[in-house]
Chain A
Amino acid sequence: MLKLKNVKSCFTPNSIQEAIDMLKKSDGKAALVGGGLDITVFPNPIIEQFIFLNKLGLTYIREDEENIKIGATSTITDIAKAPVMQNYLKGNVKIALAEIASELLRNQITIGGSIARHHFYSDIIPALYALRATIMVSDGELIEGFFVDDFYRNDLKTLMETCIVVGVHLNKYDDSFQFGLKRFVRNATDIALLNMAILAQIEEGVIKDVSISVGSRPGPAYRFEQGEAFLRGEKLTEVLAKDFESFTKSNVDVAKDMRLSKEYRQHLAGIYAKEILLDFIGGVR
């Protein structure tokens, strides 16, 4: 079954500059290929060229004092199994990544592809919002970092015609921070219908700082800023978790489709919000 019948050629550039030059010359008819999952599952008949990114040296997970630096062609498996991720935020980011899709697909999904495609069902995007990640983008000469919120305020389609996502930087957080992600899927390989990620700084039982993101197909993930304001400065207790469940159900903005109604997703989002906070209470104890 030849789904990509218009593709005539493949290139494997050796530098980011070379890749971007090819992309610019293609007149919108080339596709950058990291893992290639998206392009084979959702084939675009306009595409006539593939530009494979596997020789750009972008498969790495490194750390310095402030950041974990992940190259764009690193797969979810690479990231989840990287030594530096094992204890990052008490291992909860690794656990969240290791539950995305199946092992077969995690071996193929790259972080750069997930960021650049910005699919509404991605579990990676809400995680990056909550983690306040910085997306590294190159135009072939310079590498520029965008906070994830700012990155998705760009006209992504135009940006991706002349630039490549080269990686992502995750802040290192001290032990006062906790992370959790919950997702609703019908089976292992299904795409998420709802997901929620929370990063919270808890000092002496009080939520000092928090970032929350929610994604629900077919809407894009977003920062749940009302929820952040509700929690910031509050003492983390089981009562607060219960109150936050009700608040989330009433205030979260979720999409609907034939698979799940808006009301059901709001209900689920409330439960996830409560469960993540209860997990944090367990972590503090």
Chain B
Amino acid sequence: MKVCYSINGKKKEFEINAGEVLLDVLRRNGYFEVKGNCYMGTCGACTVLIDGLPYTSCTMLAAKVDGSEITTIKGIGTLQNPHPLQKAFVEKGAVQCGFCTPGTILVAYALLKNNPDPTDDDIKKMLDGNLCRCTGYVQQIEAVKLAAKMLKKGDE
């Protein structure tokens, strides 16, 4: 069957298997920034935004979100023009192996869209579903707070 998505602002049409999850469709079509790991919604590495909300793409049926707007980490910033969250994660040392980072940043992005001034508790609760085995989370929380400050100053 065919599905049509808008991925990072570009219309894309893919042939999919009816039983496939979104993660597999994205990676098969070159979106390697979406990481695959647990396939159970446990680790959050495969997070994408679907119509602005964060989901684990490993548990989302590709056919179910036909017609949706999908945002991967490459949709919020580029190497030349990174998003404040991407800058803050580097600055605060919140990236080590980098496997969880795309998912974590996308969840943080969704948080800051709705809550530009989050508390530590807000950040912890929001990042609950994104496991990181390198950083110990403290730097991630600091990075989100730094990004919130940068966004307030208009550093977009």
Given A36-B61, A40-B59, A40-B60, A101:B129 Cβ within 8 A: yes
16 CB-based A-B contacts, threshold 8 Å: A2-B20, A3-B39, A7-B17, A37-B59, A43-B19, A52-B63, A102-B44, A102-B128, A102-B130, A103-B107, A104-B55, A104-B107, A104-B130, A105-B41, A105-B59, A189-B41
Interface residues as binary, A1-42 with B (CB distance below 8 Å gives 1, 0 otherwise): 111111111100000000000000000000001001101110
**Is there contact, CB below 8 Å, between B39 and A104?**
no
**Is there contact, CB below 8 Å, between A107 and B19?**
no
Instruction: Write out the residue numbers on chain B whose beta carbons fall within 8 Å of the beta carbon of A246.
Output: none
- Nearest 5 interchain pairs by C-beta: A102-B129, A4-B19, A7-B19, A188-B128, A104-B129
Contacts between chains A and B (CB distance < 8 A), count = 100
Nearest to B54 among chain A residues (CB) is A104
Instruction: Write out the residue numbers on chain B whose beta carbons fall within 8 Å of the beta carbon of A36.
Output: 59-61, 64
In this complex, how many residues of chain A approach chain B with their Cβ under 8 Å: the count is 32
CA distance A62 to B11 in the complex (A): 35
- Whole-angstrom distance between the Cβ of A169 and the nearest chain B Cβ: 26
CA distance A39 to B19 in the complex (A): 10
Q: Is B139 positioned at the interface, with any CB of A under 8 Å from its CB?
A: no
Q: Is B86 positioned at the interface, with any CB of A under 8 Å from its CB?
A: no
Instruction: Write out the residue numbers on chain A whose beta carbons fall within 8 Å of the beta carbon of B41.
Output: 37, 40-41, 104-105, 108, 189
CA distance A98 to B125 in the complex (A): 9
**Is there contact, CB below 8 Å, between A41 and B17?**
no
Q: Is A86 positioned at the interface, with any CB of B under 8 Å from its CB?
A: no
**Is there contact, CB below 8 Å, between A103 and B129?**
yes
Nearest to A6 among chain B residues (CB) is B19
- Whole-angstrom distance between the Cβ of B47 and the nearest chain A Cβ: 6
- Whole-angstrom distance between the Cβ of B66 and the nearest chain A Cβ: 9
Nearest to B63 among chain A residues (CB) is A10
Give me the interface of B with A, judged by CB distance under 8 Å: 1, 17-21, 24, 36, 39-44, 47, 53-56, 58-61, 63-64, 107, 110, 125-126, 128-131
Instruction: Write out the residue numbers on chain A whose beta carbons fall within 8 Å of the beta carbon of B42.
Output: 189
Nearest to A8 among chain B residues (CB) is B18
**Is there contact, CB below 8 Å, between A103 and B125?**
yes
Give me the interface of A with B, judged by CB distance under 8 Å: 1-10, 33, 36-37, 39-41, 43, 47, 50, 52, 54, 77, 98, 101-105, 107-108, 188-189
Instruction: Write out the residue numbers on chain B whose beta carbons fall within 8 Å of the beta carbon of A104.
Output: 41, 44, 47, 54-56, 107, 129-130
Instruction: Write out the residue numbers on chain A whose beta carbons fall within 8 Å of the beta carbon of B110.
Output: 103
CA distance A141 to B54 in the complex (A): 36
Instruction: Write out the residue numbers on chain A whose beta carbons fall within 8 Å of the beta carbon of B64.
Output: 10, 33, 36, 50, 52, 54
**Is there contact, CB below 8 Å, between A188 and B60?**
no
**Is there contact, CB below 8 Å, between A9 and B40?**
no
CA distance A54 to B126 in the complex (A): 26
Contact for A2 among B1, B17, B56, B131, CB less than 8 A = B17
Known: A189-B41, A189-B43. 13 other contacts (CB 8 A): A1-B36, A1-B39, A2-B17, A2-B19, A7-B17, A36-B59, A37-B41, A41-B40, A50-B18, A52-B64, A103-B126, A105-B56, A108-B41
CA distance A104 to B130 in the complex (A): 9
CA distance A102 to B40 in the complex (A): 13
Instruction: Write out the residue numbers on chain A whose beta carbons fall within 8 Å of the beta carbon of B63.
Output: 10, 50, 52
Nearest to A98 among chain B residues (CB) is B125
CA distance A54 to B50 in the complex (A): 15
**Is there contact, CB below 8 Å, between A50 and B54?**
no
Instruction: Write out the residue numbers on chain A whose beta carbons fall within 8 Å of the beta carbon of B43.
Output: 189
Nearest to A105 among chain B residues (CB) is B41
CA distance A6 to B24 in the complex (A): 16
